[in-house]
């Protein structure tokens, strides 16, 4: 049975003190009232080591939002997968559309990041999704297939088991515009079929595929009721414990 997961992506929000306070609030709430799905928070690099000190990672997993495409060395300002792992984090988001769009994370770069993350024992939340123009041209299926082929389909079936896929239509991220549950289900089922073609039905059935894009407590129940939507990757609504908990409770 594949894992149901609600993951938060804090992005570049909250200073260390505010981030630690939010993580403590979530830890207190979710250890007192255990969620019936996996929960992960992905935070800026600088928060990881502090949060790892107190987070009950049997209840809330901890992840980074990115890692370097190089192992180590003279890459000023970069943070390697090994460094992420050494904080106590277990996950890393790779391929978020903001990284692809603003920081030139090409398919080749992402492929290297994924390999290094796996080599260092991190699980990867790998993001894919089409732009508004691509959706309007009905190219969403070819876009997500190419994104998988470009950066993760080089993995063995065994390695691919460490990949959580997040489908995030770019036109729905931070815009308040959510894909309808039917639209999201259609492409999630397609993504699962592409994974089945590559790795077989068993691997595809075991792959967690999250939906991301303006997901909130009000629309989460309808999205999460769909058979191929295994949970959510949540941006804005992961920044307040009550909002995030509302989505977790919908799963």
**Contact positions vs ligand PEP (CB under 6 A):** 9, 168, 173-174, 212-215, 233-237
Q: Which is nearer to ligand PEP, 30 or 212 (CB)?
A: 212
Q: DSSP string of the chain?
A: -PPPEEEEE--S---HHHHHHHHHHHHHHHHHS--SSEEEEEE-HHHHHHHHHH--TTTEEEEES---SSSSSS-TT---HHHHHHTT--EEEE--HHHHHHS---HHHHHHHHHHHHHTT-EEEEEE---HHHHHTT-HHHHHHHHHHHHTTTS-HHHHTTEEEEE--GGGTTSS-PPPHHHHHHHHHHHHHHHHHHH-HHHHHH--EEEESS--TTTHHHHHTSTT--EEEESGGGSSHHHHHHHHHH-
- The CB-nearest residue to ligand PEP is 235
95 is in an annotated binding site: no
Shortest CB 8 distance to ligand PEP, Å: 9
CA dihedral (95, 10, 132, 138) in degrees, to 10, reads 50
Shortest CB 238 distance to ligand PEP, Å: 7
Shortest CB 237 distance to ligand PEP, Å: 6
Residues tagged active-site: 96, 168
Taking the CA atoms of 132, 134, 138 and 142 in sequence, report the sign of the dihedral they define.
negative
Q: Which is nearer to ligand PEP, 199 or 219 (CB)?
A: 219
Q: Which is nearer to ligand PEP, 79 or 129 (CB)?
A: 129
Phi, psi (degrees; rounded to nearest 5) at 51? -70, -35
Shortest CB 7 distance to ligand PEP, Å: 9
214 is in an annotated binding site: yes
13 is in an annotated binding site: no
Q: Which is nearer to ligand PEP, 204 or 233 (CB)?
A: 233
Q: Which is nearer to ligand PEP, 80 or 214 (CB)?
A: 214
Shortest CB 212 distance to ligand PEP, Å: 3
236 is in an annotated binding site: yes
Contact 226, 181 (CB under 8 A): yes
Known binding positions for substrate: 9-11, 174, 214, 235-236
């Amino acid at each position: 049975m594949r894992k149901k997961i609600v993951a938060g992506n804090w992005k570049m929000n909250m200073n260390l003190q505010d981030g630690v306070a939010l993580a403590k609030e979530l830890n207190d709430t979710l250890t007192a009232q255990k969620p019936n799905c996996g929960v992960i928070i992905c935070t800026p690099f600088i928060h990881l080591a502090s949060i790892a000190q107190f987070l009950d990672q049997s209840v809330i997993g901890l992840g980074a939002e990115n890692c370097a495409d190089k192992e180590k060395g003279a890459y000023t300002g970069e943070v390697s997968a090994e460094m992420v792992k050494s904080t106590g984090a277990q996950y890393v988001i790779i391929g978020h559309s903001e990284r692809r769009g603003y920081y030139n994370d090409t398919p080749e770069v992402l492929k290297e990041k994924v390999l290094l993350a796996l080599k260092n024992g991190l699980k990867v939340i790998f993001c894919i999704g089409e732009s508004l123009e691509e959706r309007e041209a009905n190219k969403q299926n070819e876009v997500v297939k190419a994104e998988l082929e470009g950066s993760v389909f080089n993995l063995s079936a065994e390695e691919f088991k460490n990949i959580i896929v997040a489908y995030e239509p770019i036109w729905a991220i931070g815009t308040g515009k959510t894909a309808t549950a039917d639209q999201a289900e259609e492409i999630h089922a397609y993504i699962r079929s592409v994974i089945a073609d590559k790795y077989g039905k068993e691997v595809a059935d075991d792959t967690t595929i999250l939906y991301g894009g303006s997901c909130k407590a009000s629309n989460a129940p309808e999205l999460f009721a769909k058979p191929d939507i295994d949970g959510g990757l949540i941006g804005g609504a992961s920044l307040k414990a009550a909002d995030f908990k509302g989505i977790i409770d919908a799963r």
